Amino acid sequence: MSQKLSNRRITSGLHSAWNTMRQPLIATILGLLVGAVVILACGKNPLSVYAEMFDKSFLKSYYLFSTLTRATPIILCAMATAIAWRAGYINIGVEGQMIIGAFAATVSALFIPGSPILIAIISFIIGMVAGALYALLPAVLTWKFRVSMVICTLMLDYVASYITSYFVTYPLKDVSGDGLALQTAQLDPGMWLPRLTPKNTLHFGFIIAILVVVFMVFITKKTVFGYESKMSGFNPSFARYGGTKQVKVMMITMALSGAIASLAGTVEIFGLKYRYADSMFTSTSYAWTGLMAALIANLNPVGMFFVSIFLAGLQIGGSAIQRSLGIPLEISTIIQCCITLFVSVKLVFNFIKKRKAKSTAAEKGGEKA
Amino acid sequence: MLLEMKHITKEYGTLRANDDVDLSLREGEILAVVGENGAGKSTLMKILYGLEKPTEGDIYINGELQKFRSPHDAMAKKIGMVQQHFMLLQPCTVAENIVYGHEPKKSGIFFDRKRAAAITKELCEKYGLSIDPSLIVSNCPVGLQQRVEILKVLYQDASIIIFDEPSAVLTPQEVGELLKTIKKLASMGKSIIIITHKLSEVMEVADRVMVMRQGKRIKEMAKSETSIEELSFLMVGRHIVERKIPPQETTGTVLDVQDLVLSGSDKKNILDHFSIHVDAGEIVGIAGVSGNGQSELIECITGLTQITSGDILICGKTIVGKTVGERRTAGCACIPEDRYLWGCAKQATLTETSIMAHQREPAISRYGILNTKGIQKFTSGLLERYDVRSGGLSQKTGELSGGNLQKMIVAREIELNSNLLIAAEPTRGVDIGAMEFIHSRLLDKRAKGDAVLLISSELTEIMTLSDRIYVIYDGKVAGEFRKQDATEESLGILMMGGESNEPKAV
């Protein structure tokens, strides 16, 4: 009896795992197929190109470490996106929060005197607070003035980008070198995040990313806050009826989202670049890759972790084949976008279904009134 | 035989929704398929309409084997379905909705609006249904919207028409109209299958009745050979005994609504100096045609809407200005009137739905950390004690049948052990078995000495359960009755806005 029961539990577990993984897997295969067509059009053999790409992103240790380095901010951006999205708050301003947070952390690290390690820690915290505040701004606007959060967060991306642009162009520009680059001075090496391997770029930020994933799993699965925010995302009326304080949920999720977004930028600076440079996050589009990872993995923390690494691998592999085979780097962008597109087909379906259900419910309510 | 379904079996995982079911339909006949929620009626109809594929079994039309891959195939064989939840384009006109999918065209390209309206008129005349083709659907009451659905099916020239719980969303008058329409359609040669669990309707329209229980066909007979009693026995599998409610002393006021005003957008008060009270150990019913302020009253008490003036007290303490959560802690539980809008999240698992409003109890969480084992124990306890038939704790809430979901919501709210329980339409759209069960739980609550405020548009429900009855009309208390003084007539007059002949009772 209990044997049977546990068997059933295992099959049902497998079943649900398959259900959550099915859509991303199919989308990935389709995305790779579209990529194959493009490679064929370039006159190359897709199989050998994919083999090369895979080899130079995951199989060779040097490339694998590069992939993981690149994945670090992407993972964090995905988490930042997901924590807000699952509560129903479509924060697409992760990029802006990341810029403001990381910039604040860098400035703190440059100007606050004290022992490097202590200052590094303080800077991280200041960065997170700045990112959180910058995410709370659209939350307050949504709450008080019913501004669309999507538009508001998106616009604030540009605000963040141009504000920091001003600072690195004028007051905080590094004049020690040739003075051409729009960037701040370099951080004190004592503040740099340690490397995980001596020969590669992979730094301690990756561990921080893993810790954030664990934190996310904990929040989503094990806390009342995670439960209430999830229910708010599913059906805000239900959550409200059940006594959830929705404004509080919105403020906390947005603050957490902004804080995690800021971490994404801060680890990139303290672990890899050691300074804030103009458009360093917009040109790499970490936030948007993270958003894609969140979409593809359907906001599942562990899923987002692996998808982020996969997408980072595509980018690393993509630049490798550009160098060795002369295939444009854009191939990885094409694949990445196709996968997201194929996954979002389902999302849109769900969204339409929800809207329909909502409108019929509203009609029912309406005809009573 | 026009239609035959033979040995239909449908499995969802380990659940057998249909188990070797046979169904046959003659031309011009009305067949009623009755059964409790989750008995497999809807599944069977989905199979017939091509929405689901049977695991086993065949469908024959005029003796010819059919393979339906989609509703499109079924429609091609002149099978039409009037859905329970209407599939209408809300911003479009009646005519546009009716011809949608097979629009008349000018020069083969342009949509011919005039022709569409003419077609609608023709259809209306032919079948004796009246509707203005130029009305916008979203402005039509539910009864008319359903008529549009019916006309749509007729426009597609269906000869077999399936009605899925057609009366669930209608007012009594609209139900009368609908039943007339159904009879008329049958007399004109249409063959009709009607799915329902309202037995009085069955007895009024059906020629034959097929009873389903737990996915099986239990019995089939001519209507003339059966009775409501027999059908309800067959549906539930046991006799429904008439309830005897012992009288009970009340102790102290639990809910006290004093001079409550809720103003609407157009200066007219939705709730107008509304005063009621509910004592410990009694069930108080609010009778009224829906839309007279009942929904708003619930929202004011639960805290979903802020009141304009007046006072609401629970156990002597005012709850005005308190949040929903604080009111729940103060002792206010609520079975919401719309279970999908307020009562659950369809994508959530059963555990997630069941712990709502319990999430801060020590058995569920401590210091904000959820106790997974405690939650599982809590939910499986609820499912077991309240007889919720489900596919396990991780099943999605939206997959539960309506009656089972309702039982689960009732369970969740009763288990809050609050002083006050608001039960709004607690048995809307549920079958006899579940209804009886839910009524028993409400009476248990009363027996425990708690207060129950029952709001229902089913007058029989109000009259059976309540110790005291208020009639609500146009946001005001139109009358108050003790159980023994209330008659359907006296309540009915007040519900329609009439004046009572007698001086107000009590």
Contact B86 A360 (CB under 8 A): yes
For residue A50, pLDDT beyond 70: yes
Q: CA nearest A350 in B: which residue? A: B347
- Answer yes or no: is B35 within a domain: yes
The pLDDT of residue B506: 45
Query: What's the predicted TM-score (pTM) here?
Result: 0.75
B 292-311 residues inside an 8 A Cβ radius of A: 295, 302, 304
Q: What are phi and psi of B194, to 5 degrees?
A: -120, 125
Same domain, B181 and B93: yes
Residue B305 DSSP code = S
Say yes or no: A361 contacts chain B, CB-CB below 8 A: yes
Q: Does residue B287 sit in the same domain as residue B159? A: no
Cα atoms in the 13 Å half-sphere on the side-chain side of A16? 12
List, edge to edge, every strand of the sheet that includes B317-318: B269-280, B251-263, B309-314, B317-318
CA of A304, closest CA in chain B: separation in Å?
20
Searching chain A, which residue's CA lies closest to the CA of residue B85?
Answer: A360
Asked, for residue B359, whether it belongs to a domain, the answer is no
Residue A137, pLDDT score:
97
A-B interface: how many C-beta pairs under 8 angstroms?
A: 101
Residues B178 and B309 in one domain: no
Radius of gyration, alpha carbons of chain A? 22
Residue B260 is predicted with a pLDDT of: 94
At A24 the pLDDT is 83
CB-based contact A8 B14, cutoff 8 Å:
yes
- What number is the average pLDDT over the span A41-60? 91
Residue B428, CA distances (Å) to B198, B233, B282 in order: 11, 20, 22
Residue B128, in any domain of the structure: yes
- Three-state helix/strand/coil letters over B58-75: EEEECCEEECCCCHHHHH
Nearest-angstrom CA–CA distance, B357 and B315: 20
Comparing alpha-carbon positions, the chain B residue that sits nearest to A366 is B291
Put simply, the answer to whether A231 touches B169 (Cβ < 8 Å) is no
Evaluated on CA atoms B290, B294, B298, B300, the torsion sign reads positive
Q: Give the angle subtended at the CA of B309 by the CAs of B304 and B313, to the nearest 5°.
A: 65
Cβ of residue A369 closer than 8 Å to a chain B Cβ: yes
CA distance A191 to chain B (A): 35
> Is A5's Cβ below 8 Å from some Cβ in B?
no
Distance CA A256, CA A233 (A): 16
Interface membership of A44 toward B (CB under 8 Å): no
User: For B316-323, which contacts have Cβ atoms below 8 Å and span 24 or more sequence positions?
Assistant: B316/B253, B316/B256, B323/A243, B323/A245
Order of strands across the sheet that contains B64-66: B15-25, B3-12, B56-61, B64-66
Token pair of B318, please?
């005012």
pLDDT at residue A361 in the model: 47
Calculate how close chain A gets to B83, using CA atoms only, in Å: 13
Instruction: Tell me, yes or no, whether B260 and B315 share the same domain.
Output: yes
* pLDDT tens per residue across span A34-43: 999 999 988 8
Closest chain A CA to residue B141: A367
Specify whether B304 is located in the same domain as B335. yes
- B296 Cβ contact partners less than 8 Å away, ≥ 6 residues apart: B262, B270, B271, B305, B475
DSSP string, B380-398: HHHHHHTT---S-TTSBGG
Residues 332-391 of B with CB under 8 A from A: 334, 336, 338, 340-348, 352, 355-357, 359-360, 365, 368-370, 372
Confidence of residue A346 (pLDDT cuts 50, 70, 90): low
A residues 219-248 near B, CB within 8 Å? 221-228, 230-231, 234-235, 237-245
Bridging pattern class, strands B191-196 and B160-164: parallel
How much is the pLDDT for A103?
97
- Domain membership of residue B42 (yes or no) is yes
pLDDT value at A366 more than 50: no
Q: Given this model, what pLDDT does residue B398 score?
A: 87
Q: Do the Cβ atoms of B323 and A243 come within 8 Å?
A: yes
Same domain, B161 and B289: no
Residue B340 domain flag: yes
| Closest Cβ–Cβ partner in A222, A227, A241 for B342 | A241
In three-state secondary structure terms, B337 is: coil
pLDDT at residue B397, as a whole number: 92
Residue of B nearest to A360 (CA): B85
Classify residue B450: in a domain, yes or no: yes
Query: Quick one: closest CA in A to B302, which residue?
Result: A241
Looking at the DSSP bridge assignments, the partners of residue B311 are B258
Give the domain CATH number at B208.
Answer: 3.40.50.300
Asked whether residue A157 carries a pLDDT value surpassing 70, the answer given is yes
Best to test chain A binding among B341, B344, B394 (most A CBs inside 10 Å): B341
Task: From chain B, pick out residues whose CB is under 8 angstroms from the CB of A369.
Answer: 291, 295
Same domain, B230 and B260: no
Distance from CA of A367 to the nearest CA of B (A): 7
* pLDDT tens per residue across span A228-261: 999 999 999 999 999 999 999 999 999 999 999 9
Nearest CA in chain B to A233: B345
In A, minimum Cα distance to B264 occurs at A369
Q: Which of B236, B263, B285 is the endpoint of a domain?
A: B236
The letter for the amino acid at B66 is Q
Q: Point out the residue among B14, B86, B345 whose CB comes nearest to the CB of A231.
A: B345
Mark yes or no for CB contact B295/A357 under 8 Å: no
Q: Is residue B505 part of a domain?
A: no
Measured between CB atoms, which of A243, A359, A367 is closest to B142? A367
Contact assignment for B338 to A365 by CB distance below 8 Å: yes
Q: Which stretches of chain B score pLDDT less than 70?
A: 168-169, 171-173, 240-242, 499-506
Asked if B90 is an interface residue toward chain A (Cβ–Cβ < 8 A), one would say: yes
| pLDDT for position B108 | 80
Cβ within 8 Å, pair A12-B328: no
How does residue A14 score in pLDDT terms, banded at 50, 70 and 90? low
Residue B48: domain span: 3-236
End residue of a domain, out of B236, B266, B282: B236
B395 Cβ under 8 Å from any chain A Cβ: no
Domains of chain A with bracketed CATH: 46-341 (1.10.3470)
Any chain A CB within 8 A of the CB of B431? no
Task: Write the ipTM.
Answer: 0.80
Which residues of chain A does B139 touch, with a Cβ-Cβ cutoff of 8 Å? none
Helix orientation angle between A149-169 and A94-111, rounded to the nearest 10 degrees: 30
Sheet holding B160-164, edge to edge: B79-82, B160-164, B191-196, B30-35, B208-213, B216-222
Q: How far apart are CA B311 and CA A88, in angstroms?
A: 34
Domain identity same for B108 and B147: yes
Would you mind telling me the total number of residues written for chain B in this entry?
A: 506
Q: Which residues from chain A sit within 8 angstroms of residue B346, using beta carbons?
A: 234-235, 357
The answer to whether position B357 is within a domain reads: no
Residues B189 and B276 in one domain: no
Chain A residues with CB under 8 Å of B334 CB are 241
The answer to whether A237 contacts B359, with C-beta atoms less than 8 Å apart, is: no
Same domain, B89 and B148: yes
pLDDT tens profile B1-10: 899 999 999 9
Residue B471 phi, psi dihedral angles, 5° rounding: -105, 130
φ, ψ for residue B130 (rounded to 5)? -115, 135
Residue ending a domain, among B236, B268, B297, is B236
Q: Is the pLDDT of residue A203 over 70?
A: yes
Tokens describing residue A187: 């951080």
The minimal CB distance from B370 to the residues A223, A242, A368 is found for: A223
State which residue of chain B sits closest to A5, comparing Cα positions: B392
d(Cα A99, Cα A151) in Å, to the nearest integer?
18
Q: Which of B86, B291, B325 sits opposite A245 (nearest CB)?
A: B325
Query: Do B85 and B193 fall into the same domain?
Result: yes
**Domain total of chain B:** 2
Residues B214, B260: one domain? no
> Hey, which residues does B313 pair with through a beta bridge?
B256, B318
**Higher pLDDT residue, A18 or B270?**
B270
Q: What rounded mean pLDDT belongs to chain A?
A: 88
Q: Across the interface, do B357 and A235 touch by the CB < 8 Å criterion?
A: no
Q: Furthest-apart CA pair in chain A: how many Å?
A: 76
Question: Are B141 and A230 inside 8 Å of each other by CB?
Answer: no
Looking at the complex, report in whole angstroms how far the Cα of residue A227 sits from the nearest Cα belonging to chain B: 8
A346 Cβ under 8 Å from any chain B Cβ: no
Lateral strand order in the sheet of B332-335: B332-335, B420-424, B451-456, B283-287, B468-473, B476-482
A16 vs B: CB within 8 A: yes
pLDDT tens for each residue of A70-117: 999 999 999 999 999 999 999 999 999 999 999 999 999 999 999 999
